[in-house]
Amino acid sequence: MKYSVLGYFIGEGFSNVFKNKKSTGASLMIMCATMIIFRNISNFRRKH
C-alpha cells in the first residue's frame, strides 16, 4: 500500500470522527462500559 493511500485513509477517518460526533461518542461509551464490565468480572473471579 502506498503511503499516500494510507495517509488518505487516516485523514478520512479523523475527519469522519469529527463529522459524526454522536456516533463516535456512543461507540466510545459502549467500549468503555464493556471494558469496565469485563474488568469487574475478571477481578471477581480472581478474588473468589
- How many Å apart are CA 7 and CA 27, to the nearest integer? 23
Residue 40 lies in a domain: yes
Residue 9 lies in a domain: no
The domain of 40 spans: 21-48
- How many Å apart are CA 17 and CA 29, to the nearest integer? 14
- Rounded to two decimals, the pTM is 0.63
Residue 36 lies in a domain: yes
Sole residue written with cell 461518542: 25
- Of 35, 12, 16, give the one whose Cα is nearest residue 24: 16
pLDDT of 26 > 90? The answer is yes
pLDDT at 45: 78
Q: Cβ atoms within 10 A of the Cβ of 3, count?
A: 7
Residue 29 lies in a domain: yes
The count of structural domains within the chain is: 1
Residue 42 lies in a domain: yes
pLDDT of 1 > 90? The answer is no
Which sign does the torsion angle of CA 36, 22, 18, 15 carry? positive
